[in-house]
Every structure is written in structure tokens, then in C-alpha cells.
Amino acid sequence: MTPRTLLPLLGLLAAFAWAQPSGGLVDAARGPVPILQPTDPPRLGNAINDDVRRPRNYDMQPPTIPHRVDGYQIDRNFNKCLDCHARTRTDFSQAIPVSPTHYIDRSGKVLPQISTRRYFCMQCHVAQDAVQPLVGNGFENADQIARRAAEAAQAGKK
């Protein structure tokens, strides 16, 4: 390389080094800790344990879990959720039974037991913590939008 071609390359490297933050790269989701440094995970909160069914925001949304599930064994040998939510146990437990869709395999065949693709409940169903949201959310479901439109139409007729 000649000094003439090397000079622009050195200038580019110097500009890049100058542009880097002195404390290292930071990701806002991690807080003020630079990316290359380990962080302490947040303490686990106190999961909501009120057994109150929450409304769903859209059709086919999996319901949230309204009780604590820490310590539940859910693996290929055992599923603690089915102690209460299996169709054969709901008369005793008074829990919501597992949806009939969970008994259908991927080829559409209805099975006498939960399909293996629906066996790991917490892939879709999640427990809730009483925390403030990280970002604002103005989501409105279809019912809320329809209600607002109907109210606007009624107000326009008056």
C-alpha cells in the first residue's frame, strides 16, 4: 500500500474510534450496563394469584394464567397443569378445561389425549406479574373500535 491510499484508511479508522461511546456500547433494554458486561437479572416479582379471568384482546388469543405456576413440572413425562385442567379433573378442581383444539394433532385427527404439540402449556399461556409496562400501549381490540364507531355515529345523528 502506498501512503496515498493508506492515509484515507487511517482517517476512517480514527473517525470510527472517535465515534464510539467511551463507556462501551449500551442497549436501552439492559439499562446503563454496557453490552459486554454481565448484568444482574431483575428479581422475580410476585406473580398475580387471584384466579380472575382476564379479557382477551383478539380471537384465538391464548388466555393468561391467573395463578402462580413457579415450580410446576412440565416436561415430556409430566404436566402439572393437567392435574386441574384435564377434562377428567375439572369437575373436582373447578378449573377451566383444556380447549378441544388441544386434542387435535397436526393432521387434524382428534386424539383421546392432549396432542404433543399442545403439551407444553407455557409456550402460549403466561402468568402475569403486577408491573408497570415498559412502553405505552394504545392497543384497542375490535370490540372497542366498533363501540367507539357506534358512539360516534350516534353522536353524529344528534
pLDDT digits (tens, 9 = 90+) for 71-88: 899 998 999 999 999 999
Map out the domains of the chain as residue ranges: 43-130
- Do 64 and 124 contact (CB within 8 A), yes or no? no
Exposure letters 39-49 (e unless 16+ CB within 10 A, then b): eeeeeeeeebe
Percent of the chain residues topping a pLDDT of 90:
40
Residue 153 has what pLDDT? 93
Judged against a pLDDT cut of 80, whether residue 109 lies above it is answered with yes
CA separation for the pair 102, 100 (Å, rounded): 5
Percent of the chain residues topping a pLDDT of 70:
88
Judged against a pLDDT cut of 60, whether residue 22 lies above it is answered with no
CATH code 1.10.1130.10 for 43-130: yes
**Band of residue 3 on the pLDDT scale cut at 50, 70, 90:** low
Single pTM value for the model: 0.62
